[in-house]
Amino acid sequence: MASWKELLTNTATDIETQFDRLKTRLSGRLDADEPYKIIYYRGFGSPEAVWLKGRVLRQKWLTTPSDRDTFWHNMLATYQRFDSDAVPNATVRIDAFGQTHTTVTDKEGYFDLTINPPNDLPPSRVWFPVRYSVDGMVQPAFPNGAGGKSIVKDGYLMVSPTFSQFGVISDIDDTVLVTDATNLLQTAKLTFLGNAYTRLPFAGIAAFYRALQSGPVTTLFNPIYFVSSSPWNLYDLLVDFFRIQGIPKGPILLRDFSLSTKLFASEGHHTHKLAMIRKVLDVNPNLAFVLIGDSGQQDPEIYAQVVRENPGRIRAVYIRDVSEDRRDESVRELIRTTEAYNVPMLLVSDTVAAAEHAASLGLIDPDTLPEIRADRRSDKED
């Protein structure tokens, strides 16, 4: 007899299939005047390789969040994020570094491409402009479809400078922002009924990440990458949240939202995060990394595997303790595993404990510790 989870996922998959068929049939009639749009996700890489990703949609523009938004405003914004009509098989032109590349969107409207930058990049520059365009797609300008214009989106990509000492790969849920990811109902409430102003960061996290980005010498730039199993539909919310909280800007790597077995399976979470981390490591072959996560889901297991696969490349692993005591022993076993590779993995109660250890390893300037402690106190008082 099928379990409740199997019944739920089978039902969800069937609903999604039927819904997609209905949207495909009706989109040409009901959404004929909806503008197409290109969503780009911050590209990233090194002088060796750069990875770019985005999506082409037929979708209304999202409302702008504010700290005065009501329950219904947040509900509407959530609906707009997930009520997106993908544009498959669209040819996307990408102009970057004086080069032109093309790629094609998949059935969900996503595109991605790895390119090689030129050899003469300015050594001290981090952010570079990139333009995405879909020349064959026009926005209707007249009722009969005559006229129109190509869709263009300008953005930026991040290239790790050669003088970076290390990079940071950080989880988001229950590492940077409070989501209580082990509680499905609480996570849904915070995700779907809140906005960038109502979400709360973990105390002191912004100051700690600024210190990591600066490193032990404030003239450095260490890139920070954020990896999560949250859907790409929440990308704009996270960008706004990081900006509001003063968390350093960096690529945000999420995953496709699908009402399928993978949504409910821990294997999907593990597989996605590991694949994204490998992507970051692959395009930064000469960079060491610090890994930051939490004990609530599978970060310790994923990070231990990354340590095993990349001997000598991981400087430290910090795990925020957000789980019950029974989980601690399995985490401690993984800590012993990483120690065999001379990589410290710490199970920490708060940001300051991680920061103090990072200062002892020379990862951050010890003079930033008072700011991190003050930031933690300020966040707890808010």
Instruction: Give the range among 30-44, 345-359, 366-380 with minimum mean pLDDT.
Output: 30-44
Tell me the C-alpha distance between 324 and 30, whole Å.
50
Which residues have a Cβ under 8 Å from the Cβ of 250 and sit 6 or more positions away?
A: 42, 44, 158, 223, 224, 225, 226
The pLDDT score that the predictor gives to residue 15 is: 42
The pLDDT score that the predictor gives to residue 149 is: 67
Most confident by average pLDDT, 79-88, 148-157, 181-190, 353-362: 353-362
Residue range 39-63: mean pLDDT, rounded: 87
Residue range 323-327: mean pLDDT, rounded: 78
The pLDDT score that the predictor gives to residue 32 is: 45
* Of residues 81 and 133, more confidently modeled: 133
Tell me the C-alpha distance between 48 and 118, whole Å.
9
Burial class (CB in 10 A: 0-12, 13-18, 19+), 273: buried
180: confidence class by pLDDT, cuts 50, 70, 90: low
Burial per residue of 18-51, b for 16 or more beta-carbon CB atoms within 10 angstroms, e otherwise: eeeeebeeeeeeeeeeeebbbbbbbbbbbbebbb
123: confidence class by pLDDT, cuts 50, 70, 90: confident
Tell me the C-alpha distance between 168 and 333, whole Å.
23
Instruction: Give the range among 149-158, 177-186, 271-280 with minimum mean pLDDT.
Output: 177-186
Three-state SS at 107? coil
Contacts of 368-376 with C-beta under 8 Å, sequence gap 24+, read: 368/207, 368/210, 368/211, 368/214, 371/207, 371/211, 372/204, 372/207, 372/208, 372/211, 373/204, 374/207, 375/203, 375/204, 375/205, 375/206, 375/207, 375/208, 376/203, 376/204, 376/207, 376/350, 376/351, 376/352
* pTM for this predicted structure: 0.79
85 close to 129: Cβ distance less than 8 angstroms:
no
Domains of the chain: 31-159 (2.60.40.10), 167-381 (3.40.50.1000)
The pLDDT score that the predictor gives to residue 36 is: 82
User: For residue 335, is pLDDT > 90?
Assistant: yes
Task: Provide the residue count of the chain.
Answer: 382
User: For residue 168, is pLDDT > 70?
Assistant: yes
User: For residue 23, is pLDDT > 50?
Assistant: no
C-beta neighbour count of 317 within 10 angstroms: 26
What is the DSSP annotation of 216-266? Answer: TSTT----EEEEEEEEGGGHHHHHHHHHHHTPPP--EEEE---SSHHHH-H
- Tens-digit pLDDT profile for residues 149-163: 689 999 999 999 999
User: For residue 290, is pLDDT > 80?
Assistant: yes
* Of residues 213 and 60, more confidently modeled: 213
23 close to 88: Cβ distance less than 8 angstroms:
no
Paired residues of 37 in beta bridges:
57
Strands 36-45 and 91-96: unpaired
270: confidence class by pLDDT, cuts 50, 70, 90: confident
- Tens-digit pLDDT profile for residues 1-15: 445 445 444 544 454
User: For residue 18, is pLDDT > 50?
Assistant: no
- Tens-digit pLDDT profile for residues 219-265: 789 999 999 988 888 898 899 889 988 999 999 999 886 544 444 44
Which DSSP category does 354 fall into?
A: H
Q: E strand or H helix at 16, and its extent?
A: helix 4-30
Percent with pLDDT over 70 in the chain: 71
Tell me the C-alpha distance between 261 and 264, whole Å.
6
User: For residue 132, is pLDDT > 70?
Assistant: yes
* Of residues 359 and 232, more confidently modeled: 359
The pLDDT score that the predictor gives to residue 25 is: 45
Tell me the C-alpha distance between 318 and 92, whole Å.
39
The pLDDT score that the predictor gives to residue 326 is: 74
Report how far apart, in Å, the C-alpha atoms of 284 and of each of 49, 61, 162, 271, 278 are.
Answer: 8, 34, 10, 20, 10
User: For residue 195, is pLDDT > 60?
Assistant: no
